[in-house]
Amino acid sequence: MKPGDRLPPLEIPITRTLIVAGAIASRDYQDVHHDPDLARQKGSPDIFMNILTTNGLVGRYITDHFGPRAELRRVAIRLGAPNHPGDTMVLTGTVEEVDGDTATVRVVGANGLGEHVTGTVTVRVPV
């Protein structure tokens, strides 16, 4: 684990099921995450993934890579292009800083429209 290390990419198909399942698992009943008609009335072409699901996927990407003993300390994300059904998001990560057993990883999730999520994750990986 050293600065500059790249994590293998993780490809996530953005299905309608993933968007709705993620919204419900995070107890987010905002209509734009499950009702296409109401999403369109709010100017979106279709339903889109909620931020809690994106956050969960970013966390999973990091712990999948560093293993079950890795402890997430901080996850900070910003959303850009929405994740609509039928798209694919590819998560990539680069280790930016290492301090003892703690690393800061820059994460980007890109979809067909652009960057869906950018952020940093601080993770402790006990030796």
Partner 1 sequence: MSGEPEVHEEFEARLKAYEGRPAAATGVGRDPVNEPMIRHWCEAMGDTSPAYTGPDAVAPPTMLQAWTMAGLTRRPERTAAYDELLTLLDESGHDAVVATDCEQEYLRPLRPGDEITFDSVIESVSGRKTTKLGAGYFITTRTDVRAGGEPAGTHRFRILKYAPAHRPSKPAERRPRPVVNRDNSGFWEGVARHALLIQRCTACTTLRFPWLPGCTSCGSPDWDTVEARGEGTVHSYVVMHHPPFPAFEPPYAVGLIELAEGVRIVSNVVGVPYDKVRIGMPVRLEFRRYDDELVLPVFQGVTP
* Binding residues for partner 1 (CB under 8 A): 12, 18, 21-22, 24-30, 32, 40-44, 50-53, 55-60, 63-64, 68-69, 71-79
Pair type for strands 102-111 and 114-124 = antiparallel
Closest CB 38 distance from partner 1, rounded Å: 10
Q: Is 54 exposed, middle or buried (0-12, 13-18, 19+ CB in 10 A)?
A: buried
Q: Which is nearer to partner 1, 6 or 40 (CB)?
A: 40
DSSP one-letter code for 38? H
Q: Which is nearer to partner 1, 6 or 73 (CB)?
A: 73
Q: Which secondary-structure segment (H or E) carries 54?
A: helix 51-66
Closest CB 78 distance from partner 1, rounded Å: 5
Which residue shows structure tokens 């970013």? 58
Closest CB 4 distance from partner 1, rounded Å: 24
Q: Which is nearer to partner 1, 70 or 110 (CB)?
A: 70
Longest Cα separation, the chain: 51
Closest CB 90 distance from partner 1, rounded Å: 15
Q: How many angstroms separate the CA atoms of 124 and 101, rounded? A: 6
Q: Which is nearer to partner 1, 32 or 110 (CB)?
A: 32
